[in-house]
Chains A and B, each alone.
Chain A
């Protein structure tokens, strides 16, 4: 939600479960969240100098093993190593590198991983052994998230956003010593792309800031081609070393064959209502821009939009984000002029990204960094978001489950909510007895001041800051209820959940996209 730049936005922290500490051991001084745009558009942000060494003609970058790359990179205790998540739950690179790292006997490393998946389970042993003591990530699920929730990582994990991570890397808040690029295709001189080879994953947007700003950059590939690799999404000017391994990933886990629209009638009904809200908002006109996740209900909203756009003859400007085959279909049918893609979610998206010049790359900084001269999220009309919980002030939790265990993270949630003209949360009101609308969310991920509307199977609630939207929806005959009414309805079905009890130990710090602390995650009792 934007368009309120000249008002002092209310800080959403007042509904935090507990006040923030001023200092967190293993993290440092806490700069508390002050409002979504408090630090944006004011003053000038610092950038870390981009360091580069020079390479002589004839010098080789191609190394035989990961071990040799670790030697050349000067791996030592306390370093920060970075990885990106385009290979998702099929990624072999992080585990391969960390296996070699562990054999070195180094300790106290911080890993900056754009997202962590169940496949990264071997990290747990390294956390327990003190090889890895710090973690910065935008999303985590599976055994590593569980271990962090249990307080097994020495320092609190830092949960960032997709825009906050490149901001932190570029500014020096998160200085990276060695960046590892999982490269589905590379030449021996370090030109990399994600569109060729057996592990093709498409866009490499999350790896770009790492490649630009790390002290040492190592590309790891399982598809080495003759110089020059084409296209070169990450170029030879950024890469120090190239290593070839038998496999960087499992194609089954990298991209799903298909992404499906939900067949659940409740999900379809929510999507239909969401599309009506978009229509009523007045944003659905030529030049319309849109982003959605790959969840079944979110895709169903895209399907509804597609029909509405066709019927009304509307041509949108772009759809952005992680891209699915569904959005590729809309591009090819002429419903959008362009796609802006930071990561491909399925094979159809990979092929389109490779072959269609209107399917454009965007790196994570261009996508969502608040401290740049303009992120793509600022150009979004409508963003469709999910929620694990949402409170009476529209603060959203997508970081922890209702039992307090970490099971996700912002990813681009906070970034897109802040940028889009209409940030819409779509969800069932109750999921497996859990009321999604809560008095207090377990963890604040996305501040409520950036969330405009909640669409559920039991009604639509609009953020009271958006009286214009309430008026527009009511003028279109859509019924709007208060979020308090949805809370009451949800609790009448489920009963009031017992409070989960937490210890004082902080296991993760949730950073907003500008680097301020929006909340912390404490260990459950």
Chain B
């Protein structure tokens, strides 16, 4: 599955993560991650995002993630919401 619309979730507040998903030209998932804890948690944040995307069956997507120290449940929630918004029927606002 691929997303056909751009959608966002989250904020740039401390302890939150901002996720923007958008259609991708190429097959696969591209993820650009910025984080204030990149050295310590970059690997784990990346895994959480990719796992959440895969769980929704999305295989073609471009993701920008700007992390301010979010915990895993926040990351999952923000990614899921961004995907919900990107995959919603036209005219439905989530």
Interface residues in chain A, defined as those with a beta carbon under 8 Å from any beta carbon in chain B: 402-404, 430-434, 493-495, 497-498, 500, 524
B11 cross-chain contacts in A, Cβ below 8 A:
none
A432 cross-chain contacts in B, Cβ below 8 A:
14-15, 36-37, 68-69
Let me know if A498 and B41 touch, CB within 8 A. yes
Question: Who on chain B is nearest to A435 by CB?
Answer: B40
Provide a sorted-by-A list of 15 A–B residue pairs whose CB atoms are within 8 angstroms.
A402-B37, A402-B40, A403-B37, A403-B39, A432-B15, A433-B40, A434-B69, A494-B41, A494-B71, A495-B41, A497-B37, A498-B39, A498-B40, A498-B42, A524-B39
Let me know if B39 and A433 touch, CB within 8 A. no
Q: Once bound together, how far apart are the Cα atoms of A493 and B72, in whole Å?
A: 8
Q: Give the secondary structure class of A's interface.
A: loop
- Residue of B41, B43, B69, B70 contacting most chain A CB atoms (<10 Å): B41
Let me know if A495 and B39 touch, CB within 8 A. no
Task: Given contacts A432-B37, A498-B42, list 19 more A-B pairs with CB under 8 A.
Answer: A402-B37, A402-B40, A403-B37, A432-B14, A432-B15, A432-B68, A433-B37, A433-B69, A433-B70, A433-B71, A434-B40, A494-B71, A495-B72, A497-B37, A497-B40, A498-B40, A498-B43, A498-B44, A500-B40
Q: Once bound together, how far apart are the Cα atoms of A211 and B40, in whole Å?
A: 44
A404 cross-chain contacts in B, Cβ below 8 A:
39
Q: Once bound together, how far apart are the Cα atoms of A142 and B47, in whole Å?
A: 32
A-B pairs with lowest CB-CB distance, top 5? A432-B69, A497-B40, A433-B69, A403-B39, A495-B44
B71 cross-chain contacts in A, Cβ below 8 A:
430, 433, 493-494
Q: Once bound together, how far apart are the Cα atoms of A493 and B71, in whole Å?
A: 7
Let me know if A500 and B72 touch, CB within 8 A. no
User: Number of contact residues on B: which range applies?
Assistant: 10 to 19
- Residue of B37, B43, B70 contacting most chain A CB atoms (<10 Å): B37
Q: Once bound together, how far apart are the Cα atoms of A402 and B39, in whole Å?
A: 9
State the Cβ distance, A248 to closest chain B Cβ, in Å: 35
State the Cβ distance, A401 to closest chain B Cβ, in Å: 9
Question: Who on chain A is nearest to B45 by CB?
Answer: A433
Q: Once bound together, how far apart are the Cα atoms of A494 and B72, in whole Å?
A: 7
A498 cross-chain contacts in B, Cβ below 8 A:
39-44
Q: Once bound together, how far apart are the Cα atoms of A431 and B39, in whole Å?
A: 15
Known contacts A432-B14, A433-B15: does B69 contact A403 (CB below 8 Å)?
no
Known contacts A493-B71, A495-B44: does B15 contact A500 (CB below 8 Å)?
no
Q: Once bound together, how far apart are the Cα atoms of A402 and B68, in whole Å?
A: 15
A524 cross-chain contacts in B, Cβ below 8 A:
39
State the Cβ distance, B94 to closest chain A Cβ, in Å: 27
State the Cβ distance, A442 to closest chain B Cβ, in Å: 10
State the Cβ distance, B52 to closest chain A Cβ, in Å: 15
Neighbour of A500 across the interface among B14, B39, B68, B70, CB < 8 A = B39
Q: Once bound together, how far apart are the Cα atoms of A261 and B44, in whole Å?
A: 35
Question: Who on chain A is nearest to B70 by CB?
Answer: A433
State the Cβ distance, B37 to closest chain A Cβ, in Å: 5
A434 cross-chain contacts in B, Cβ below 8 A:
37, 40, 69
